[in-house]
Amino acid sequence: MHASFVHLVALTVTVLLALPAHAQESETPSPADRIVLKNGSTIVGTVTSARDGVVVIETDFAGALNIAQEQIVSLESNTPVIMQMADGEVLAEQPIVVEEEQLVVSGTVPGTTYTLSDLKATDPAPWELGEGYRWTGLANVAWKMERGNSDTDEVDYKLDTKWLGLKDRFTLKGSGEVDEANGQKNSDNWSVIGKYDRFLDGPMYWGVNLAAEEDEFADLNLRWYAGPYLGRKFYEEPVFNLEAEAGLAYVDEDFIVAEDQQYPGANWNVKMGSNYLGGDSRLYLDHVGIWNLEETSDLILNTTFGLAFPLLFNFEAAAEIMLEYDSGAVDNVDDLDQTYSFRVGYTW
């Protein structure tokens, strides 16, 4: 029995002595990723993504750093990723390795070479590979009620959503306002527009749109227009993006009092955005124009300027200025309508 006890103690000591070595072995960190820049600097950390000319590396000393791909001489990563190239080719999952500005890849046709600038994105989403769509949007509703010396009720709403695919894009926008003061309605309007875009090779695309709007206090019972257009993406960088469209439209206007009219028109749209102010904020401009080709003095211009910034839980706040100009406005209705607003909405 004494021998058995000694044997048990010896076995226990052996196990205890082995535990630190095993724990130390299991906690051995994986090798760090490494980036060498053209200026000779070396950055050590974990490469988390590469997209649109920027490599993101997570460091212990400065958090996430965005490195322009054009500044990288060599790169060694340890985590396999799927790589989508600028020409649309998708490379099998493998670590990112760059030597002398050349991307070292496996599984390609012998003799095929890539530079890091040829890398469009790592781990692309399914829609970027032509599978389905990426759905994004913004929705907000505001309600204001005052009781006292005056009774005021206001309801404002807005929806802006897109389905983006590799070859096409669907857009749906809508907004409206209903205001009442002391039992008398003083504002009642809404607008909606649907668009379909088909991307061509390069920055060009074609599309069709259908829009409608109503404004009781501008004598407009219903205005709708539809037509094709040709568009171009001029810039797609986060610091500045710009795209514009121009086309033709058939316009039908039904007024409450004034004489109704239908006419062929020219239609254009300009969209701009920028994250120049930083902090995930967003400057934006959305401009739509309609020109009556029969009565050339008749021009409709709707322009929205805004500054949006994120809040918590996908909510977004924005300050907006909306300018609505109609040179053909009916009598007793101002040509220019200006709206200043601050809204809070949910984004996805």
Quick check: is 15 in a domain? no
- How far is it, in rounded angstroms, from Cα 125 to Cα 144? 41
Quick check: is 22 in a domain? no
Looking at residue 148, the DSSP 8-state letter turns out to be S
Interval 226-240: pLDDT, tens = 999 999 999 988 889
Asked whether the predicted pLDDT for residue 21 surpasses 50, the reply is: no
Among 90, 124, 158, identify where a domain stops. Answer: 124
Quick check: is 273 in a domain? yes
The runs of H, that is alpha helices, within the chain are: 2-26
Asked whether the predicted pLDDT for residue 262 surpasses 50, the reply is: yes
Is the domain of 208 the same as that of 329? yes
Asked whether the predicted pLDDT for residue 46 surpasses 70, the reply is: yes
Among 124, 142, 169, identify where a domain stops. Answer: 124
Residue that wins the pLDDT comparison between 186 and 315: 315
Q: What's the total number of domains in the chain?
A: 2
42: containing domain: 33-124
Asked whether the predicted pLDDT for residue 24 surpasses 50, the reply is: no
Quick check: is 317 in a domain? yes
AA identity, residue 305? F
Quick check: is 171 in a domain? yes
Among 61, 91, 124, identify where a domain stops. Answer: 124
Is the domain of 82 the same as that of 172? no
Q: What CATH number is associated with residue 175?
A: 2.40.160.40
Is the domain of 156 the same as that of 241? yes
AA identity, residue 84? Q
Is the domain of 305 the same as that of 286? yes
Asked whether the predicted pLDDT for residue 109 surpasses 70, the reply is: no
Is the domain of 103 the same as that of 184? no
- How far is it, in rounded angstroms, from Cα 181 to Cα 154? 9
- How far is it, in rounded angstroms, from Cα 296 to Cα 182? 41
Q: What is the mean pLDDT of residues 270-284?
A: 93
pLDDT number for residue 163: 98
Q: What is the DSSP string of 186-235?
A: EEEEEEEEEEEEEE-STTEEEEEEEEEEEEGGGTEEEEEEEEEEEEEEEE
Interval 155-203: pLDDT, tens = 899 999 999 999 999 999 999 999 888 778 888 999 999 999 999 988 9
Cβ contact 291:271 at 8 Å: no
Percent of residues, the chain, with pLDDT higher than 70:
89
183: left (phi over 0), alpha (psi -120 to 50) or beta: left
Is the domain of 187 the same as that of 329? yes
Q: What is the mean pLDDT of residues 148-153?
A: 74
Quick check: is 12 in a domain? no
Interval 83-103: pLDDT, tens = 998 888 898 899 999 998 888
Q: Which pair of structure tokens corresponds to residue 245?
A: 């469209």
Quick check: is 300 in a domain? yes
Cβ contact 34:70 at 8 Å: no
Predicted structure pTM score = 0.78
- How far is it, in rounded angstroms, from Cα 79 to Cα 84? 16
Rg (CA), the chain: 30
